């Protein structure tokens, strides 16, 4: 008997506050038209002063658990992907576990920047396929607004806050078909966010904000995502036409369009949320997946390709029969 992990519930949460391009244009030298043309972003959500990665994760997770009609006590593993944890430790996974009141689960965080949710899916899938876990809760949650330098027009226009969740359960029916993850630390200086408290003397003066050489990141992202698409199709002996939906990481509409073109997919088959959410890092793919499931675009039995690229660099994909 082949054992698969299958998506049994999804959830998502976006904070209330909307920050538009016009508002950002009042504080840095940019414009709505520049931002929209270069990125596809119009506005992003900003977490309230009392919200955090853990508090947003809780709302998204509860939705996923409810959608799956699942007793939380049957969840045996919680994996949270975040680059903006509430604490260095305990992990946001443990904070989420406490909030959900789940006793019999192990919980931990993965840190793979914007690819975090794909890395979490990869880990969860191995646990379920091997029989080590039956139900795994995966959450990507970020308060990017708190690690963004709001005086840096090259980065502050891009990011937003939010949380997305998936509950995976063991099944004999096909679900997650394959996952692929990669990283290359050689690119560590193109996109990073320092941790001043743990820095060496040489790096202590750096503030804890995102630093990015956007144009260079852009070029590597386009090429790398093209390769991961080929790798995923090849591993599953599938053709481009077998994919019903592309759910990409929401970094830049031009990167998304390049991947869709590579797949010969119409933009009608691509889930795009960045216009009103920006880049929510590890939450973005899960938020987009949840949105398209809830509004009825993605239907049971369809084949969905999830992909992401982020700091590290890290990149990965998951091919899912929903
Ligand atoms: N408004 C106006 N002008 C701007 C802005 C702005 N917000 N930002 C940059 N510019 C200027 C630059 O200063 C530059 O001016 P110059 O020509 O006088 O030097 C010009 O616009 C072009 O700058 P580029 O950086 O070449 O612009 P580009 O078209 O590459 O767009 C962007 C920049 C949007 C950041 C793009 O490079 C991008 O999206 N990069 C990839 C982001 C990404 O994928 N990140 C990975 C995931 S994130 C994660 O893992 C945490």
Which residue's alpha carbon is at the smallest distance from atom 43 of ligand 1?
Answer: 251
Instruction: Say how many Å lie between the CA of residue 116 and the centre of ligand 1.
Output: 23
Say how many domains are in the chain: 2
Residue 202 is classified by DSSP as: G
What pLDDT is stored for residue 47 in this prediction? 98
Domain stop point among 174, 189, 205: 174
With a 6 Å cutoff on the Cβ, whether 254 touches ligand 1 is no
With a 6 Å cutoff on the Cβ, whether 252 touches ligand 1 is yes
CB 306 within 8 A of CB 112: no
Q: Is 162 helix (H, G, I), strand (E, B) or coil?
A: strand
Strand partners, 159: 279
What pLDDT is stored for residue 210 in this prediction? 97
Domain stop point among 158, 174, 190: 174
With a 6 Å cutoff on the Cβ, whether 197 touches ligand 1 is no
Whole-angstrom Cα distance, residue 267 to residue 250?
A: 14
168 and 194 within one domain: no
| Nearest alpha-carbon partner for 285 in 65, 138, 107, 67 | 138
Which residue's alpha carbon is at the smallest distance from atom 28 of ligand 1?
Answer: 215
Q: What is the dihedral of CA 84, 317, 313, 10, to 10 degrees?
A: -10
Task: Please give the helix or strand (H or E) that residue 166 lies within, else none.
Answer: strand 161-171
What pLDDT is stored for residue 208 in this prediction? 94
Which residue's alpha carbon is at the smallest distance from atom 48 of ligand 1?
Answer: 310
CB 231 within 8 A of CB 180: yes
What pLDDT is stored for residue 59 in this prediction? 98
> Ligand 1: which of 22, 218, 257 to mutate, judged by most atoms within 8 Å of the beta carbon?
218
**Is 249 designated active site?**
yes
262 and 246 within one domain: yes
List the domain range (segments joined by +) for residue 41.
4-174
Mutual angle of helices 253-262 and 32-39, in 10-degree steps: 20
95 and 222 within one domain: no
Provide the residue-wise pLDDT of the chain in tens; the chain has 322 residues: 779 999 999 999 999 999 999 999 999 999 999 999 999 999 999 999 999 999 999 999 999 999 999 999 999 999 999 999 999 999 999 999 999 999 999 999 999 999 999 999 999 999 999 999 999 999 999 999 999 999 999 999 999 999 999 999 999 999 999 999 999 999 999 999 999 888 888 877 788 999 999 999 999 999 999 999 999 999 999 999 999 999 999 999 999 999 999 989 999 999 999 999 999 999 999 999 999 999 999 999 999 999 999 999 999 999 999 9
With a 6 Å cutoff on the Cβ, whether 182 touches ligand 1 is no
Which two tokens mark 284?
């973005």
What pLDDT is stored for residue 205 in this prediction? 79
CB 145 within 8 A of CB 84: no
CATH label of the domain that carries residue 76: 3.40.47.10
Sign of CA dihedral 66, 68, 73, 75: negative
With a 6 Å cutoff on the Cβ, whether 82 touches ligand 1 is no
| Nearest alpha-carbon partner for 300 in 206, 199, 173 | 173
Which two tokens mark 216?
């260079």
What pLDDT is stored for residue 152 in this prediction? 97
205 and 74 within one domain: no
What pLDDT is stored for residue 228 in this prediction? 94
Cis before residue 149, ω within 30 degrees of 0?
Answer: no
With a 6 Å cutoff on the Cβ, whether 311 touches ligand 1 is yes
Domain stop point among 134, 159, 174: 174
231 and 168 within one domain: no
- What CA–CA distances, in Å, run from 310 to 84, 261, 293? 14, 20, 24
91 and 153 within one domain: yes
261 and 121 within one domain: no
227 and 144 within one domain: no
**Is 114 designated active site?**
yes
Single pTM value for the model:
0.97
Q: Is 89 helix (H, G, I), strand (E, B) or coil?
A: coil
71 and 210 within one domain: no
With a 6 Å cutoff on the Cβ, whether 215 touches ligand 1 is yes
18 and 149 within one domain: yes
Q: Which residues of 65-91 are buried (b: 16+ CB within 10 A; e: fewer)?
A: bebbebebeebbbbbbbbbbbbeeebb
186 and 70 within one domain: no
92 and 55 within one domain: yes
What pLDDT is stored for residue 204 in this prediction? 78
Strand partners, 212: 191
Which residue's alpha carbon is at the smallest distance from atom 41 of ligand 1?
Answer: 218
What pLDDT is stored for residue 206 in this prediction? 85
Q: Which atom of ligand 1 is the closest one to the Cα of 155?
A: 35
Instruction: Say how many Å lie between the CA of residue 255 and the centre of ligand 1.
Output: 12
Give the helix ranges, DSSP H, for the chain.
Answer: 21-25, 32-39, 53-67, 92-100, 116-130, 214-235, 253-262, 274-277, 284-294
What pLDDT is stored for residue 201 in this prediction? 82
């Amino acid at each position: 008997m082949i054992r698969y992990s299958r998506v049994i519930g999804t959830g998502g949460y976006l904070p209330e506050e909307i920050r538009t391009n016009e508002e950002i244009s009042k504080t840095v030298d940019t414009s709505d038209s520049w931002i929209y043309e270069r990125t596809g972003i119009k506005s992003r959500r900003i977490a309230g002063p009392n919200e955090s990665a853990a508090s947003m994760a809780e709302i998204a997770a509860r939705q996923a658990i409810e959608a799956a009609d699942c007793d939380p006590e049957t969840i045996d593993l919680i994996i949270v992907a975040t680059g903006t944890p509430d604490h260095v430790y305990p992990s946001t996974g443990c904070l989420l576990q406490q909030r959900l009141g789940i006793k019999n689960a192990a919980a931990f965080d993965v840190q793979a920047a914007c690819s975090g949710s794909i890395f979490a899916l990869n880990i969860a899938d191995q646990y379920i396929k091997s029989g080590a876990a039956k139900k795994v809760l995966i959450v990507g949650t970020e308060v990017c607004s708190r690690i963004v330098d709001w005086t840096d027009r090259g980065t502050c226009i891009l990011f937003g806050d939010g949380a997305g969740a998936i509950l995976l359960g063991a099944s004999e029916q096909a679900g997650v078909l394959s996952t692929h993850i990669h990283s290359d630390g050689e690119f560590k200086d193109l996109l990073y966010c320092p941790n001043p408290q743990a820095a060496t003397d040489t790096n202590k003066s750096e503030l804890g904000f995102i630093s990015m050489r956007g144009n260079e990141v852009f070029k590597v992202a386009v090429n790398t995502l093209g390769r991961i698409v080929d790798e995923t199709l090849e591993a599953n002996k599938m053709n481009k036409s077998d994919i019903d939906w592309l759910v990409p990481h929401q970094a830049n509409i031009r990167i998304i369009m390049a991947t869709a073109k590579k797949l010969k997919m119409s933009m009608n088959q691509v889930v795009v949320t960045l216009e009103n959410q920006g880049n929510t890092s590890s939450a973005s793919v899960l938020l987009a997946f949840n949105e398209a499931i809830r509004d009825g675009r993605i239907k049971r039995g369809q084949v969905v390709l999830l992909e992401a690229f982020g700091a590290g660099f890290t990149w990965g994909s998951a091919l899912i029969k929903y």
